[in-house]
Structure 1
């Protein structure tokens, strides 16, 4: 069997993820407002949901990763926004239909999450990633999320 070719792609946060977070937060606020809780508790829960949503949106927007690459010898490299290349290891992954979620661990930056969705990545890149991730055996060190 020939070795798998390297896979490289530019990365930007998914707009679809941001929109989904906002819709879920709006539904949570609506559920709280329609509940039979006391007014002070409703206010507390709405503030909590708003702060959690703001924090999640901020984390998504400030992702330092500009590109990623997976070489033929299973080595990951992350290119940061400041043009620094950082080696990484695949901590875990999940394939959900057209979406690919990768957790990559770096020594300097800790765990970085990459969500490849139809709005921020090429369909061919996601297909190649899914095919290559499928070759990872369940007993190997990389668990699925």
Structure 2
């Protein structure tokens, strides 16, 4: 469906009465947006994230697989959102946005408090092979 709608958009641009240079730019922008949408939709889906007391992260994927991850950076946007950038060994980086529509306010509050300790001088771990999603207790964050 995405490719069909993209082709219709390109066809509309090509049939319009705008200058050729603008047509080329719009077709290029449509192709780039389509490529980004396809790339985003084919990424593995993260169902849960866990952060252990020792700093190790784990991601539970939609397939049920638990993968160790390393926190590379984070951003806190007030009380509403936390943006995490995690690196998973042998895979692409994963960005997680924890916002009111996908996470509990208490979880975000506890996460902001733990991340504040990293801001106060503790460094992000260089690497981590430890996981935090014990099957018996589930995610910790």
Task: Please indicate, yes or no, whether the TM-score normalized by the shorter chain is above 0.5.
Answer: yes
- Equivalent-residue separation in structure 2 for 1:129 and 1:115 (angstroms): 12
Matched, 1:135 2:117: yes
Structure 2: state its 5+ residue gaps: 1-12, 126-141
> Does the Cα contact within 8 Å between 2:74 and 2:85 map onto a contact in 1?
yes
Deviations 1:22-70 (A, max 9, x none): xxxxxxxxxxx9xxxx622222222233233333333443342121111
Deviations 1:57-114 (A, max 9, x none): 3344334212111111111001111111110110001112312111111112131111
Q: Secondary structure at the match of 1:73?
A: coil
- Equivalent-residue separation in structure 2 for 1:59 and 1:66 (angstroms): 18
Structure 1: state its 5+ residue gaps: 1-32
Structure 2 CA distance for partners of 1:139 and 1:71, relative to 1, 3 Å? closer
- Equivalent-residue separation in structure 1 for 2:62 and 2:49 (angstroms): 11
Please, what TM-score do these two structures have when normalized by structure 1?
0.62
Please, what TM-score do these two structures have when normalized by structure 2?
0.63
- The CA RMSD over aligned residues, in Å, is 2.3
Identify the residue that residue 54 of structure 1 maps to in structure 2: 34
Structure 2 CA distance for partners of 1:76 and 1:46, relative to 1, 3 Å? same
- Equivalent-residue separation in structure 2 for 1:60 and 1:87 (angstroms): 21
- Equivalent-residue separation in structure 1 for 2:24 and 2:103 (angstroms): 38
